């Protein structure tokens, strides 16, 4: 999955666009498919839906804060979904029902995401060293 590309507006500033409808739909989508329990099928559906919302919102030249916030929400949602798809394990609040156990050997690391005009893709960072166990634990 590619992250959302940033493009110049191809829609007319006077074209009707229901920001609230897309915002509410995005919130519902993220809660249902990218919430506490996730799997590849749901994450891919979320990615496809976000991409369809973005086809309108990211190409629209908004003149006020609600429109800009929607574009930021869509960008953040795309980053979250693409990162969740890449991480094939469960860790903390990231629970993948299709990968239910942690995989320290491959995934004790952060994901780095860089977005540019061509989109972006999460890249695994370096492996993290295990935290030392103190006597108080």
Which position has the token pair 């409808």? 21
Which conformational region is residue 92 in: left (phi greater than 0), alpha (psi within -120 to 50 degrees), or beta?
A: left
Query: Which residues are CB-contacts of 4 (< 8 A; sequence separation ≥ 6)?
Result: 50, 51, 54, 58, 74, 75, 78, 115, 119
- For the chain, list the domains and their CATH numbers: 19-127 (1.20.58.100)
The reported pLDDT for the residue numbered 13 is 47
The reported pLDDT for the residue numbered 94 is 86
The reported pLDDT for the residue numbered 135 is 58
What's the CA gap between 125 and 105, in Å, rounded?
13
The reported pLDDT for the residue numbered 114 is 76
The reported pLDDT for the residue numbered 98 is 98
* Average pLDDT, consecutive stretches of 10 residues, N- to C-terminus, the chain (137 residues): 48 68 98 96 97 91 94 93 92 93 90 71 72 59
- pTM for the model stands at 0.77
């Amino acid at each position: 999955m590619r992250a959302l590309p940033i493009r110049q507006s191809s829609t007319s500033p006077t074209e009707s666009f229901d920001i609230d409808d897309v915002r509410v739909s995005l919130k519902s989508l993220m809660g249902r498919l990218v919430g506490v329990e996730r799997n590849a099928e749901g994450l891919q559906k979320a990615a496809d839906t976000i991409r369809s919302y973005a086809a309108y919102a990211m190409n629209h030249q908004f003149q006020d804060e609600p429109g800009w916030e929607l574009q930021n929400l869509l960008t953040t949602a795309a980053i979250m979904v693409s990162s969740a798809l890449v991480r094939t394990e469960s860790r903390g609040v990231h629970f993948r029902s299709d990968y239910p156990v942690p995989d320290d050997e491959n995934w004790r690391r952060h994901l780095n995401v860089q977005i540019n005009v061509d989109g972006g893709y999460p890249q695994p960072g370096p492996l993290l060293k295990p935290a030392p166990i103190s006597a108080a634990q």
